[in-house]
Chain A
């Protein structure tokens, strides 16, 4: 990839386009400008307190601390975030998992100490307080040969550090062997204290509330693991960005070889795009960019396949129109079989802005860069850097996908979405284009917003689906529900009605999941809760159904009697 010609455009302006601190700016706008400048720099690839090494401080037996970051091997230069302590290999010391912003995003550090120091592990079990005894504290007193006592205090917590919950098993280091455990006192949540006997060093024990005596806890001691140095792959500027949903393209001005100006695409009132009837691939190139040459040559060799697939490449020169003879010669030299044009500076700015906004980046477009746009004029995939003909032919299929399937294609990984919180195109693009000084395209999205407010597609689609469900046309109904959710993933009525359709089709697990999603939106919806209980019962999850019953009872719901009968029937059937 070569440097973007757009960098040259930017070079004229200051690197930091705010914070002059002049008397003309008022304080509030200077403050906003400072943040804005900072955020832009961070999105341009600058680090901020980056490559810092994690720190460890050794407690010098109560006489201060010493920095042992490097000596302990804890000094990884990650952007570390969460940390948890756990004795993962059950060898009596604290191992550590760390989560990072940088790769690897998870690290496991085994504690390899060879100190000979003894330890003991305690797991608390509440009987009259919460089972895991969160909120309890343990005082363990040690006594040495000289009868000196050391008190070790630890608490059982759920949530500590940052974004992290460590093990609730407490591993106590006991220092040099020879010291004895003189006593173990647990103060349970609420303040009731209980002394436990029978705790011996070198083992793990369970302390059950009210028993006063430690029970041995058998923990599997893992084999030893090999150490290694995992390396994260470097961040590359090349990328294939499959969009979460098609984005209608604002008007794009290009100039044909004969000098006539060709407006392409454009948002209609209502927010739909203007298609060309074909899937279009815009390929940005310059005659001096070596990877562009290779890419155009490769695409030219696949002309027949592209045509068969209904994919229409349009090469777009980023060089000034006055130099079009050079681009023409360059393309004819390589027998470019498709049309070409010159991108106007506003068109380049628009493409650059779309790619930057969709990556939340302030980096300029590299070359080559390509944009796959469907027959209706909506952007589907952005390619930064070269893209192979093979990849394009595969992605051609994306152009025909409905919203839901396009959404799923945006991530290569499987999993479940709760509520993809997608802003509308207008909400998302309008302010961002505006902030980049692209008022024209921003206003195109704003026109789309007006219409969206007047009609609510999710309501309509749900209504169509509901009609068909009532008519017993369940498969058709589900197609409408799917489209309704693509328009608004938080549409309660669609979620609950679709769940009922699935329930009727005996697809209980899927039904229960959708009931759950609907309840997440409206936890007070008693009918949906009742339906969920029946689905859970059908799945054999009696406890789940009972818990819903308790909820309905607490609210005096009419469906309680029916549910109680269903639970009795379930019991009888067993």
Chain B
């Protein structure tokens, strides 16, 4: 533990979250109670957007102050158009010259609602949702009282395809000093807004074809359809079913040489891992048992890689606190060729780190505070996790742990979730990025087979709660940029930006906490060995990938530009209360 980094910081963060869910008033986070009250008001507006027919009555009674005003940019412009999507963006208000801002027109509540309803006029299946991202209890200059920032997400289906509006607002609320009536909306100012129209022939770009591909498997309805919570309720926990899950590893590779790529899927304890062989009709058959890889042990991650250079994909799977090494005979029959000691493994990555022609293995390790394994200290920059390991391939299924020899023992006690190799400096050998929870990430530069953590000096150590990492040249300048998936927390954003949060802490520590809630990070490779954090401030952009896990660069619309996926969501249990 570092001096001056007391334990109670997390206590406060967690208490803030718990307070929001339980009893904000009693916990002293009065702002959370006030934000709940204004959330209830915005919910009424969202409901009117979803059900315009209800707009006529008293649905919005008491929501608006008498002298309500709405300030919005005068125009929007098309910023993107191809055969898949058209994107319009309103001229950004925040940060622009006051003169331009003053020119922004304002309307009253009728004009405001007309504008909102216009967003999804004629659309069916409308969803509307507000999310609070900031609360200023003391107001902002020129505006005393409660000021909140909110994100509005509206979407629906139109004839031409799906439509989506995203808006970032600053809302100013009038509060009744006696506390008798709910807060009323005094003004709304648009900080950022964009509109997306999908133009695909199908209503949306992605279609859920899970059942068509997987539905014929007995395991689909018996094992895969129920969520982890179902299994936790029905199985002795000693089979291996920790709360967070994460028995969610998936690997793609052609294991039987038929040219079709197959899948290996990890499962929680008591449920067998699956080897799913891809059939010419696009469906899969379950070959787990015949292949000898239907492990019932709690399994987290897997790779399908050729480890013995015999031309087929072998299997590495983390199970039973080991990496099981399974050799493929070329016909998708596997035999156990070795096992490596590797407790609490999270993600796996393979690369030829010493350029000797075979693939070496890197295993991330965690120590879950959610299962009482370890508590991260200090919370925002922890260094008491399990060490990650590098296993060097010496041929013939001999793997030797060489973490320290290769320099990867540096800053190696963090809580690692994911790692990925890429030659970011283009010197011919694979470098390694490691995303860590509760603190800084590692960027290990490979110099001739020896690594050095240059995360801080390269400007890419991303102090936050890291969960995943992906490489892609998003700006088309010929080198690999980085996108790191992190925790995004609305409650954290509301609390960590208030003056009284960690009031006695240094500006640096406060900034760390604020950063912890910010969300995903986009790093631009500057081409000189350093990275620039180019994550936009707007919560409508790539930072707000929510509580994000396996984010990936992917060209979704085949236009040659790398888009981003940010799959997310932490823990959904049956109570609607969210901490």
B349 at the interface (CB under 8 A from A): yes
Which residues of the other chain, B, contact A520 by a CB distance below 8 angstroms? 322, 324, 336, 338-339
Report whether A150 and B560 are in contact in the complex, using a CB–CB cutoff of 8 Å.
yes
Report whether A150 and B567 are in contact in the complex, using a CB–CB cutoff of 8 Å.
no
A177 to chain B, nearest CB (A): 11
A539 to chain B, nearest CB (A): 9
Q: Spot the interface stretch: A52-60, A255-263, A280-288.
A: A52-60
Q: Which of A21, A55, A228 has the most CB of B within 10 A?
A: A55
Look across to chain B and name the residue whose beta carbon is closest to the beta carbon of A19. B15
Which residues of the other chain, B, contact A41 by a CB distance below 8 angstroms? 18, 21, 579
Report whether B547 and A71 are in contact in the complex, using a CB–CB cutoff of 8 Å.
no
B101 at the interface (CB under 8 A from A): no
Look across to chain B and name the residue whose beta carbon is closest to the beta carbon of A522. B339
- Name the one of B198, B272, B419 contacting A72, with C-beta atoms under 8 angstroms: B198
Report whether A66 and B282 are in contact in the complex, using a CB–CB cutoff of 8 Å.
no
Report whether A65 and B542 are in contact in the complex, using a CB–CB cutoff of 8 Å.
yes
Which residues of the other chain, A, contact B419 by a CB distance below 8 angstroms? 159
Which residues of the other chain, B, contact A519 by a CB distance below 8 angstroms? 336, 338-339
Rounded to whole angstroms, the CA-CA distance of A99 and B228 in the bound complex is: 11
Q: Spot the interface stretch: A291-299, A317-325, A407-415.
A: A407-415
Rounded to whole angstroms, the CA-CA distance of A20 and B97 in the bound complex is: 47
Report whether A79 and B245 are in contact in the complex, using a CB–CB cutoff of 8 Å.
yes
Which residues of the other chain, B, contact A421 by a CB distance below 8 angstroms? 240, 297, 320-321
Rounded to whole angstroms, the CA-CA distance of A306 and B555 in the bound complex is: 64
Look across to chain B and name the residue whose beta carbon is closest to the beta carbon of A222. B282
Q: Which of B15, B236, B480, B542 has the most CB of A within 10 A?
A: B236
Rounded to whole angstroms, the CA-CA distance of A35 and B438 in the bound complex is: 14
A570 at the interface (CB under 8 A from B): no
A-B contact pairs, 28 of them (CB 8 A): A30-B7, A42-B243, A44-B575, A48-B571, A49-B579, A66-B166, A70-B162, A71-B204, A72-B162, A72-B204, A83-B565, A98-B567, A108-B212, A163-B249, A174-B558, A191-B428, A226-B211, A228-B210, A230-B208, A230-B211, A239-B233, A244-B238, A414-B294, A416-B292, A419-B321, A513-B336, A519-B336, A521-B339
Rounded to whole angstroms, the CA-CA distance of A250 and B285 in the bound complex is: 47
Q: A31-B379, A66-B80, A105-B248 are in contact. List 17 more A-B contacts (CB 8 A).
A: A51-B578, A57-B564, A72-B198, A81-B246, A157-B471, A161-B469, A162-B347, A163-B266, A172-B555, A231-B225, A235-B226, A242-B236, A414-B294, A415-B271, A420-B320, A512-B335, A543-B329
Rounded to whole angstroms, the CA-CA distance of A127 and B451 in the bound complex is: 26
A85 at the interface (CB under 8 A from B): yes
- Name the one of B260, B428, B550, B564 contacting A59, with C-beta atoms under 8 angstroms: B564
Q: A80-B550, A82-B250 are in contact. Are A45 and B430 (CB under 8 A)?
A: no
Interface code A121-156, partner B: CB below 8 Å = 1, 0 otherwise? Answer: 000000011111011010100100000001111110
Report whether B11 and A416 are in contact in the complex, using a CB–CB cutoff of 8 Å.
no
Which residues of the other chain, A, contact B567 by a CB distance below 8 angstroms? 54-55, 78, 80-81, 83, 98
B478 at the interface (CB under 8 A from A): yes
Which residues of the other chain, A, contact B233 by a CB distance below 8 angstroms? 235-237, 239, 359, 361
Report whether B85 and A161 are in contact in the complex, using a CB–CB cutoff of 8 Å.
no
- Name the one of B8, B223, B396, B418 contacting A554, with C-beta atoms under 8 angstroms: B396
B552 at the interface (CB under 8 A from A): yes
Q: A80-B549, A81-B248, A191-B428 are in contact. Are A46 and B577 (CB under 8 A)?
A: yes
Q: Which of B288, B301, B489, B566 has the most CB of A within 10 A?
A: B566
Report whether B575 and A57 are in contact in the complex, using a CB–CB cutoff of 8 Å.
no
B155 at the interface (CB under 8 A from A): yes
Report whether A232 and B7 are in contact in the complex, using a CB–CB cutoff of 8 Å.
no
B375 at the interface (CB under 8 A from A): yes
Which residues of the other chain, A, contact B409 by a CB distance below 8 angstroms? none
Rounded to whole angstroms, the CA-CA distance of A37 and B286 in the bound complex is: 42
Report whether B296 and A415 are in contact in the complex, using a CB–CB cutoff of 8 Å.
yes
Q: Spot the interface stretch: A111-119, A441-449, A453-461, A473-481.
A: A111-119
- Name the one of A49, A76, A113, A543 contacting B310, with C-beta atoms under 8 angstroms: A543
B12 to chain A, nearest CB (A): 8
Report whether A422 and B397 are in contact in the complex, using a CB–CB cutoff of 8 Å.
no
A497 at the interface (CB under 8 A from B): no
- Name the one of A55, A135, A175, A554 contacting B546, with C-beta atoms under 8 angstroms: A55
A110 at the interface (CB under 8 A from B): yes
Q: A35-B375, A417-B296 are in contact. Are A103 and B225 (CB under 8 A)?
A: yes
Q: Which residues of B, 297-342, contact A by the 8 Å Cβ criterion?
A: 297, 300-306, 308-311, 313, 319-322, 324, 327, 329, 335-340
Which residues of the other chain, B, contact A418 by a CB distance below 8 angstroms? 295, 297, 319-320, 322, 324
Report whether A50 and B536 are in contact in the complex, using a CB–CB cutoff of 8 Å.
no
Report whether B570 and A243 are in contact in the complex, using a CB–CB cutoff of 8 Å.
no
Rounded to whole angstroms, the CA-CA distance of A410 and B280 in the bound complex is: 37
Q: A72-B198, A167-B261 are in contact. Are A227 and B209 (CB under 8 A)?
A: yes
Report whether A158 and B7 are in contact in the complex, using a CB–CB cutoff of 8 Å.
no
B569 at the interface (CB under 8 A from A): yes
A47 at the interface (CB under 8 A from B): yes
Report whether A105 and B198 are in contact in the complex, using a CB–CB cutoff of 8 Å.
no
Q: Which residues of A, 540-561, contact B by the 8 Å Cβ criterion?
A: 541, 543-544, 547, 550-551, 554
Look across to chain A and name the residue whose beta carbon is closest to the beta carbon of B492. A49
A289 to chain B, nearest CB (A): 20
Which residues of the other chain, A, contact B472 by a CB distance below 8 angstroms? 154
B139 at the interface (CB under 8 A from A): no
